[in-house]
A and B are shown apart, each in its own frame.
Chain A
């Protein structure tokens, strides 16, 4: 596959993260928290896949989350995710792979190069952020576990632990747990597809899907399944949580597409969180495949994207 780099790539925006991390360490040092602070920092190499757009603030990225396992309000995850135990963490990898098993996350991370990938994130609700993720390509992990030749899809599953995830504990089930997601194998193997382990140079905050989450920047945010405990390779299209909940509204593909509206709201524009202009910031036009069309449109050649929404 011919892979072109995004036209807006630049190293310009990448430097501030180092400054940011340094500043944080200095501040942490002042607070007598040098060890804790330093322990959180993830070394990451820069990536040509990063956008040069200004990243959304850490505060906004970590306080405005859809993670229904911790409640339906966007402030709930930041409030409730603190008690989630993310260490130790095991990921079951099964299905059509040569090396199935229950892998400890530490073992998965051994030998992986953690990259910084600054990606746009477009929520299906009509807002967007720019997030400096840390992580490694999903392809690196899949290659390691050796997909069998018949495998066509990858299915993902989030942790179910009502004792630590209050959104799963109520009588009123907002979604059918566990949260499940899926990708076609070629989407999963695409170099843009990331398994994130951190953001802003630090370990992933729990509310953002710690310790391991999927990031597929050309798809709506809900495809980016959080706190992953299981990855299965299969030859059948996996069921996905929002498609189960409302099939006429959320399809399997869920590629960002300004031309295909959500049945209840337009997808033509988006509000960029933290945009300059504050209350009076204008909505921005939403781009096909969230601006990653050059890299991924080829995956869908010949497909009617209105039908496969």
Chain B
């Protein structure tokens, strides 16, 4: 249903959303060359990219509830938000693979199989791959709107994986990861509640 509506939306440009989505990444690129990423710049980048990925994923999850509950329709921008989120997931993963682990595949593989937070994070990334790979109009036509919608429900476990990944990696129980997890659970809970 959501997809069918797309073509009746007013023709609003989506490029400003893509551009805005790039701003955090550009700001960090600038910080690499001119600024100060703190004592542990690799961790700063890794955490920043991960957090921005979560923020955009949450924004994507918020679009339907915003429309249904408050009549604010951002549907037109959902793809831009989703792809931007995926960009930050990829950047987060690249920082981990290239800068944090220095492409030490043995250590990376050990992380993936031994550390639940890495396993869960990696699972979330894999779940997002088919979604990013079908985020163009032709893909929707090929697999059909209904199947496409069904496939894109994978975003729910993916976002949950992202939020849990964050909670599991910190020491003790600092507030921030719990706030993200809380928001994700609310947005997913809303969907369960709507269907009930």
A interface with B by C-beta (< 8 Å)? 56, 59-60, 63-64, 68, 72, 74-75, 125, 127, 172, 174-175, 242, 245-246, 261, 264-266, 268-269, 271, 273-274, 278-283
Contacts and interface: CB of A to CB of B under 8 A. Distances in A.
Contact of A264 (B38, B110, B168, B172): B168
How many B residues touch the partner, as a band? 20 to 34
Given A266-B111, A283-B104, 7 more contacts: A60-B39, A63-B38, A72-B175, A174-B172, A245-B172, A266-B107, A278-B41
Interface of B: 32, 38-43, 45, 99-102, 104, 107, 110-111, 114-117, 168-169, 171-175
13 contacts: A59-B39, A63-B38, A63-B39, A64-B38, A175-B172, A264-B169, A265-B169, A266-B107, A266-B111, A269-B107, A278-B41, A279-B45, A283-B102
Interface secondary structure of A, over-half rule = loop
B107 A125 contact: no
Contacts of A64: 38-40
Contacts of B104: 283
A282 B102 CA distance: 6
Contacts of A266: 107, 110-111, 114-115
Contacts, number: 65
Contacts of B169: 264-265
Kindly name the residue among B38, B40, B104, B168 whose own CB sees the greatest number of chain A CB atoms within 10 A: B40
Contacts of A72: 172, 174-175
A279 B41 contact: yes
A255 B111 CA distance: 22
Contacts of A242: 171
B153 to A, nearest CB: 30
B42 A279 contact: yes
Contacts of A125: 171
Kindly name the residue among B39, B42, B172 whose own CB sees the greatest number of chain A CB atoms within 10 A: B39
Contacts of A265: 111, 115, 169
B40 A268 contact: no
B104 to A, nearest CB: 8
Given A264-B115, A266-B107, A279-B32, A172 B39 contact: no
Nearest to A245: B172
Nearest to B111: A266
Contacts of A127: 40, 43
Contacts of B107: 266, 268-269
A75 B37 CA distance: 12
A274 B39 contact: yes
A17 to B, nearest CB: 20
A283 B96 CA distance: 12
A112 to B, nearest CB: 31
A280 B99 contact: yes
Nearest to A249: B171
B45 to A, nearest CB: 8
Contacts of B174: 72, 174
A277 B168 CA distance: 30
